[in-house]
């Protein structure tokens, strides 16, 4: 089998195979070049009669090796094709994973070194989630979920920068030990079950504690505000949490929000979601707060922003959302004082929106004075 892309990265190939990487032979594939798949953190192979894709040839793969590779590559909509590669000892027959026709668009030429510097860590985390499902789910499902695996992996990378520890104690993850992992749930969302022990405040060690964690995503939230007209935009949509809680009115007022895509700064997510959910161009983004939504059981982390913009030509209500994502969103442009009254009445019952409005209340005079 000939590898021209990310599987040339030995740690990734070892993870996919579930074992140490066997001997590899330097090889090339004439008539082809490795390009980045457009807007994706992985490469694709493209016909080019004047080029030769560089890579490695791996002979002697077992049937189990091929099954694991097929499962992993199937998540990218890649299939094996017969080719002839060139080695120091001459031409050799091989198989290579080609993208399905028309599935990905071609981006710039791809570099293993540049990819490793930017994307290797994220790819390893996402690949582990893929291979955790080997033998349990099929590659077609993995293909639909792979962007969310990468979003979770990107969240783990962003989490590496810890918040200050001035009031908090100086303990770190070195003082926590995951004793074992138990069977959880792997779907669009993930529930990880595990047993842990940790250092106690009194210096002792806790007993073994069984716990479960809801593994979600990082999300960017933006509250649009027009300091000239002193109006804010709130979005309203049906939410599944209130449905399952038994709330008789499960439509919720919220800020604009969306998942942070892999490699995307949260501020850019906020701008993108404002366009998608409300057709709204944000003039200036100001950071509000960052934090966990419910740290007792969930990894979900919010990056919150104020979006300074022009709402003067906006009607009191409008429609928004992407049909491709089954979004049915109503936008409300209302005076700031009315929004604060909705907190008092309890109609604003999404805590992030209440928090963002209260934050705006402390900055509002300064924002209005600056226009």
Residue 227, Cβ neighbours under 10 Å: how many?
22
Closest listed residue to residue 224, CA positions, set 285, 290, 315, 293:
285
Q: Which helix (H) or strand (E) is 286 found in, with range?
A: strand 284-292
Q: What span, in angstroms and rounded, lies between the C-alpha atoms of 86 and 245? A: 62
Q: Spot the catalytic one: 23, 63, 325, 344.
A: 325
Q: What span, in angstroms and rounded, lies between the C-alpha atoms of 273 and 280? A: 9
**What does DSSP assign to residue 310?**
-
Let me know if 88 is a catalytic residue: no
| Burial environment of residue 202 by CB neighbours within 10 A (0 to 12, 13 to 18, 19 or more) | exposed
Residues 6+ apart with CB under 8 A from 171: 199
- Buried b or exposed e, range 329-361, using 16+ CB within 10 angstroms: bebbbbebeebbebbeeeebbbebbbbbbebbe
Residues annotated as part of the active site:
325
């Amino acid at each position: 089998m000939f590898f021209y892309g990310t599987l040339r990265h030995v740690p990734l190939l070892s993870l996919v195979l579930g074992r140490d990487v066997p001997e590899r032979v330097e090889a090339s594939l004439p008539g082809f070049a490795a390009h980045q798949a457009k807007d994706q953190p992985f490469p694709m192979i493209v016909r080019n009669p004047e080029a030769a894709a560089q890579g490695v040839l791996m002979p002697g793969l077992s049937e189990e090796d091929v099954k694991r590779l097929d499962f992993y590559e199937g998540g990218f909509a890649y299939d094996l094709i017969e080719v002839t590669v060139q080695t120091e000892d001459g031409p050799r027959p091989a198989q290579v994973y080609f993208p399905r026709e028309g599935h990905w668009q071609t981006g710039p030429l791809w570099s293993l070194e540049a990819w490793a510097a930017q994307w290797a860590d994220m790819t390893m985390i996402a690949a582990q989630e893929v291979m955790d499902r080997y033998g349990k789910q099929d590659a077609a499902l993995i293909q639909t979920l792979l962007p969310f695996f990468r979003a979770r992996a990107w969240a783990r990378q962003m989490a590496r920068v810890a918040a200050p520890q001035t009031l908090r104690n100086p303990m770190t993850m070195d003082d926590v030990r995951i004793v074992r992992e138990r069977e959880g749930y792997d779907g669009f969302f993930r529930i990880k079950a595990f047993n842990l022990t940790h250092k106690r405040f009194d210096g002792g060690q806790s007993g073994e504690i069984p716990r479960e964690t809801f593994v979600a995503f990082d999300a960017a939230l933006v509250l649009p505000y027009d300091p000239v007209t002193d109006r804010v935009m709130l979005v309203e949509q049906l939410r599944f949490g209130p449905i399952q809680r038994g709330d008789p009115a499960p439509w919720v007022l919220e800020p604009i929000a969306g998942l942070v895509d892999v490699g995307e700064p949260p501020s850019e997510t906020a701008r993108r979601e404002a366009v998608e959910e409300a057709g709204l161009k944000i003039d200036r983004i100001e950071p509000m707060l960052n934090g966990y939504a419910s740290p007792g059981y969930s990894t979900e982390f919010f990056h919150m922003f104020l979006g300074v913009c022009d709402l003067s030509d906006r009607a009191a209500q409008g429609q928004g959302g992407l049909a491709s994502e089954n979004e049915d969103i109503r936008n409300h442009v209302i005076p700031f004082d009315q929004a604060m009254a909705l907190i008092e009445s309890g109609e604003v019952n999404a805590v992030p929106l209440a928090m963002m409005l209260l934050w705006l209340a402390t900055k509002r005079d300064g924002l209005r004075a600056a226009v």
